[in-house]
Amino acid sequence: MCSTKILGCRASSSVVVEKLHLSSALRRLILLSYTSSWFSLFLHNCVLVCRNRQTDELRYTRFLKDFLESAEEHYFVGFRVHYYLFTDQPGEVPEVKMGENHHLTVRSVPSMDRWQDISMGRMEILEKLIKNELASEADYIFCLDVDTKFYGRWGVESLGRLVGVIHPWFFDYPRDQFTYERRPESQAFIPAGEGDYYYTAAAFGGSLADVHHLTKTCREQLNIDAANSIEAIWHEESHLNKYFLYNKPNKLLSPEYLWRDISISAAQVKIIRFSHVAKNNEEVRPNF
């Protein structure tokens, strides 16, 4: 029997039962954000990755206020939550009122010249944060992009040892159309005919131990590729998909937990809890 379950809508009764079962063990949820910017532009995503454009025309920090305010309205309401935001522009982080037992920590990180490097760097940041700081603070961690917004409840029904989210652009595609890394020279290589789902790197999580193992493995494989002058087609997302192929998530979240854009409806998704926001990638990425 397959131990993985895909979460769509859950009946309220089952959610209550799960909440009663988990609440005694749940000390704190950690929500991480990584925002960076360089010269005229930057943005990124990691546990929460925020890409920030350094111009009056567009700044990725503009997404932070809506992201944090909507998270306060919908994300693990009633639980202890600690947001970690990594940015090269701590002075640009907006003030957002935190609810009871919710906290925001802003960490400064160096700028980088390519959005791809920022994106891939999230794995090392997460690995070190979990290893050095979070062992006694949290039970679960979620990593989310911050060019996003919450529109509905995100709660304990999403918790699991290792949690993956099905990519909103590929949930209804056949496997042979998934954009896995197909070059055998890359550590992210997935052969044709293999693979279960295509997962997004914009949202994933789980227990501290499992996410630490995930991020450590992906960071090591990224380093091997870099040493061999190889960059996977979709960067850390390619390595995440390789990891999930051989380390199955025990919980899969449907695209209602990360949709393409709230303005783009889909008959298959009746409830959108969390969604990317509309943006022009050519404006916010320096080398798109």
86: closest CA among 64, 113, 55, 101?
64
Please tell me the distance from the alpha carbon of residue 213 to that of residue 44, in angstroms, as a whole number.
22
CA distance 240 to 83: 22
CA 152 to chain centre: 17
Catalytic residue among 72, 124, 181, 237: 237
Q: Coil, helix or strand for 214?
A: helix
Cβ of 21: how many Cβ atoms within 10 Å?
Answer: 11
Per the CB < 8 A criterion, the answer to whether 81 and 100 are in contact is: no
| Residue 58 in tokens | 């567009």
105 forms beta bridges with 84
* Active-site annotation holds for 237: yes
What residues are annotated to the active site? 237
